[in-house]
Amino acid sequence: MKRETPSMHNRVNRRLFSAGLGAGLVAGTAPFNIVRAQGAALKIAVILPRSGYLAPAGQSCHRGALIAPKVLSDYGYKVELIHIDCESNADVARTQAERAINDGAQAVVGAFDSASTLAIAQVCEQRKIPFVVNIGASPQLTEQGYKFLVRNFPTGGMLVTNGLKLIKDELAATKLDAKTAVFLHANDNFGTAQRAAMDKIFPAAGMPFQLLESIAYDPKAQDLSVEVTKVRALNPDLLIVVTRAADAIKMVRDMVRQRFEPKGIISPGSPGLYDEEFYQALGPLADYAMYNLPWANPKSQMTQALEAAFKPANPGFRFPVECFNVGFTFEALLVAATAFKKAGTTDGTELMKAVRATDIAEHVMIGPAIKFDDKGQNVGIPSAAVQNLHRTPTVTLPADVATATPTLPIPGWQKRT
């Protein structure tokens, strides 16, 4: 179990300060007694999968958490963050949540993976500690009656509903006549939830193509040759996918080896296709993959402030690639910080009342003000159609936020440069 100690924080802070991030980040991540001397701060445990098979996405979220104190400070919020690695393991997530609360955490943010998030939710409910979900689509999170949980992220059903609608828009915009599709998805908690949503929503969605089959795969498998062989035999016009970065890479490599070239590769809402790991491993083969997801609003002043803080802190990473994970992680911290400022107390019950009453008009991701329903779900999060162009995520729909037009059918593997 990997947990950062205060001495580790101090070393990180000195390095970040010397890199030019300024005193705001140092104050935001200083030991608790120092922050207390300067004024009240909310102590938040940020639990993410920074190692294990979900590490690329977890580390991306972590980069958002590291820059958040500076940006939040500029907006008048004070937080102290405890950064914890749950190692892509739900049991570790549960244990680390317990330890963090015992060590004084007054709120929790995490955990990207729905299984780990569910484990943390049970702990926070028992301990009456507010838990703000940054990323996690399993419907269970807001369907089990948790009183100390809110989720500023779409459910699997919301992702699929919004994603399918955008697929229709993409086909209409490109005039692509697609008659068949296959749904290929990971068999983990997230992928299974997406499959359940697809089974429920697709029949009534009025899609212009037939869904031939849904095929599950193990994301920890060495390759996806068997699954790609099944897809190739069905020869669909569209391959609809729910992936993570590592298995998305294996999927594309097996498609290239088997010379399977669909007219489009589209995710109705999942990671993997926009991760830097995907671009670096595949080069031009990563281009033209499409994914319909909530995305950072480039016109938002808060997005611009977050990007300005991100660039000097992460010179080896690109904000347009990282903005999904970074943006949602930042917004989860923003929800907790705003509630703390409003409540004026770290009492779990009172703080949670303020979290439930969240109404934040200015934020990072596209969409209306952040609000939660009686179940703790933000139901107002829309999706955008994003396509990899020149190894960069590029918004192609809706037109009012797009910076390019969608490309379908996609070029064959041998035609990429």
Q: What is the CATH number of the domain that holds 411?
A: 3.40.50.2300
User: Residue 104: which region, alpha, beta or left (left: phi > 0; alpha: psi -120 to 50)?
Assistant: left
Q: In this predicted structure, what is the pLDDT of residue 60? A: 93
Q: In this predicted structure, what is the pLDDT of residue 159? A: 87
Same domain, residue pair 281 and 304: no
Domain of 352, in residue numbers: 2-154+297-356
Q: In this predicted structure, what is the pLDDT of residue 220? A: 87
β-strands 149-151, 180-186: how paired? unpaired
Beta strands in 226-353 (DSSP E): 238-242, 264-267, 290-293
Q: In this predicted structure, what is the pLDDT of residue 39? A: 54
pLDDT 10s digits, 243-260: 988 999 999 999 999 999
Q: In this predicted structure, what is the pLDDT of residue 28? A: 38
Instruction: Please check whether residue 108 lies inside any domain of the structure.
Output: yes
Same domain, residue pair 164 and 150: no
CA nearest to 274, candidates 143, 396, 94: 396
Same domain, residue pair 16 and 114: yes
Residue 301 class from Cβ within 10 Å (0-12 exposed, 13-18 middle, 19+ buried)?
A: exposed
Q: In this predicted structure, what is the pLDDT of residue 137? A: 85
Q: In this predicted structure, what is the pLDDT of residue 269? A: 84
Same domain, residue pair 148 and 182: no
Q: Which residue has the tokens 């996690």?
A: 136
Same domain, residue pair 170 and 129: no
Q: Which residue has the tokens 């040759």?
A: 225
Same domain, residue pair 305 and 409: no
Same domain, residue pair 172 and 231: yes
Q: In this predicted structure, what is the pLDDT of residue 144? A: 93
Same domain, residue pair 334 and 262: no
In this prediction, the residues of the chain whose per-residue pLDDT falls under 50 are 1-2, 5-38
Same domain, residue pair 161 and 223: yes
Give the helix/strand (H/E) hosting 149.
strand 149-151
Number of domains in the chain: 2
Give percent of the chain above pLDDT 70.
91
Q: In this predicted structure, what is the pLDDT of residue 188? A: 86
